[in-house]
Amino acid sequence: MSGPQAESSSERIQDAARLWHSQDPDPETREELAGLIAAAAQGDPEASEALEDRFGTRLGFGTAGLRGALGAGPNRMNRVLVAQTAAGLADYLRTTLDSPSIVIGYDARKNSSVFARDTAEIMAARGVDTTVLPRELPTPVLAFAVRHLDASAGVMVTASHNPAPDNGYKVYLGGHHGGAQIVAPQDRDIAAAIDNATATPVTDYQRSTDYRIAPESVVDEYIRLTAKRGIPGTSRPKVVYTPLHGVGWETARQVFADAGFDEPLAVPEQQHPDPRFPTTAFPNPEEPGALDLAFAAAKEYGADLVIANDPDADRLAAAIPSHHGWRQLTGNELGIILGWQAATRSEDHPRAQSKREGMLVASIVSSPGLAEIARRFGLNYAETLTGFKWIARVPGITYGFEEALGYLVDPDKIRDKDGISAAVDLLSLVSGLRDRGLTVEQHLNHIATLIGGHASEQVSIRTNSSSQIAALMAGLRSAPPNHVGTDRVQSIDDFIDGHDQFPPSDIIRIFLEGGTRVVVRPSGTEPKLKAYIDTRSSDGTGEERLTKARADASRIAASVHDLLAP
């Protein structure tokens, strides 16, 4: 664009930036923005482009709340945006409830405590009964506190496993929502209230320090109930643990001790919170290299198991020894063994729960193996769209998981994924297996002999824009494949207008002859098209079934990549 129209657009962006600057209470982002405004006014094209990126759009508030890079402007995470969001959420709560209350938590990322305090002051000033957790804590503690304190809502300031420059704002609802994350239509209603709040400069918002700090008893009760799940055997595994520079260690350490397990060896370089995440390029335990320090420590320590939480400790990763070094379990493998644990837990054990009328739940991109477990044990099964905002809301749920390392093992306590509770269940399982002279790999083989061998692969197609993603999905719909590689397509489900019990979603599910399933959907956070491949084999021993399923998954993944590549 050039000429008067471009100049007008640039001027509007600069005017918006100046208005934002005038109400920004953060010296760092004020300085950043002042520099960009001055440079853009002098005709610097890079500064103009940077302002366009920050002010041309706004971080969308949706079912995942907010998440984005720190910086100035409405398309970044900052104190102005958080204040507007807090004001809108407070107004939503006041218009829908007579006496609303909220509990606020935060992790150790840059500005997390600042955003939590801003939220508390604005909530309290707008008449919302406000409680803040006593220090930086894992997301599961906040999700627990919403239920434990019977709060109307909860906010967790975290960007989970995103890169270091990011932060985020996750919202939960209490009452009949049970402490789960928000879904439609509440997300749209809250977003509308936030839009209304932006009409007033944040410098005019009333603030109040009339809020309380939650007592330590809230954290203690989360620890007590989580530790209560532990069933340590006589053989205690040697464990290496990493919180990946996040907030998991302090809480997890106390839970493991109270449950009766030996204290894990914490990876020293990653043991304490550090918002820079200096030893990881990307603090996500799914990413290659993220657990390399843990594997090195495990080799030196002679460990039996490696476990990891992501930085806010709502996800769990695990790795086991193999002939070729340490092998990280896939999210689906861990989901299956924890699902088996949930289905077989003895109801007469003093620390166990009854499995009667159990409901096992998985997202549609997670392994169908959980459905096989439910069938074998005569339990109910449900599948949902991706995200624990859906999984946690299934009535009667006793266990739920999704392949992205998310596990809900204790829904009476919490209605979100919980990496610490899941770690306790895993330690109980491994300890029991060791008492019987068995390994996790042998346990996986045994499960495969009973329900078939299940394997999974993922394919990600990265593009330059969301429009390319839309074009790829449109191409699949306009010219659906008859084959994926040499495998014939048996049927295709398109969720774009809704499917069965699911609301409309940009998802295509392909079934191949032989039982393979391929689910294709856009990523919710990146310009990626993602495909999830799940295979099953019933040929031979459990080990042979898994070997065959893994080979098929790898082969079909290559064909799916060819099918989807632009």
**What is the set of active-site residues?**
160
Contact predicate 367/389, CB 8 Å: no
Q: Measured between alpha carbons, how far is residue 89 from residues 61, 148, 192 in Å?
A: 11, 21, 10
Strands 453-462 and 528-537: antiparallel
DSSP code for 77: B
Cβ-proximal residues to 18 (8 Å cutoff; 6+ apart), any chain: 37
Distance CA 83, CA 154 (A): 16
Distance CA 503, CA 355 (A): 30
Distance CA 404, CA 424 (A): 19
Strands 380-384 and 397-402: unpaired
Cβ-proximal residues to 283 (8 Å cutoff; 6+ apart), any chain: 161, 162, 163, 164, 244, 245, 246, 277, 290, 310, 311
Contact predicate 293/280, CB 8 Å: no
DSSP helix/strand/coil, 465: coil
Alpha carbon of residue 127 to chain centroid:
31
DSSP helix/strand/coil, 240: strand
Strands (E), 385-471: 397-402, 406-408, 453-462
Distance CA 15, CA 189 (A): 29
State the chain's maximal CA–CA distance in angstroms: 78
User: Which of 184-189's residues contact partners 24+ apart within 8 Å by CB, and which partners?
Assistant: 184/63, 184/503, 187/61, 187/62, 187/63, 189/92, 189/96
Distance CA 264, CA 252 (A): 10
DSSP code for 15: H
Q: Where would I find the H helices in 42-111? A: 45-55, 79-96
Contact predicate 310/246, CB 8 Å: yes
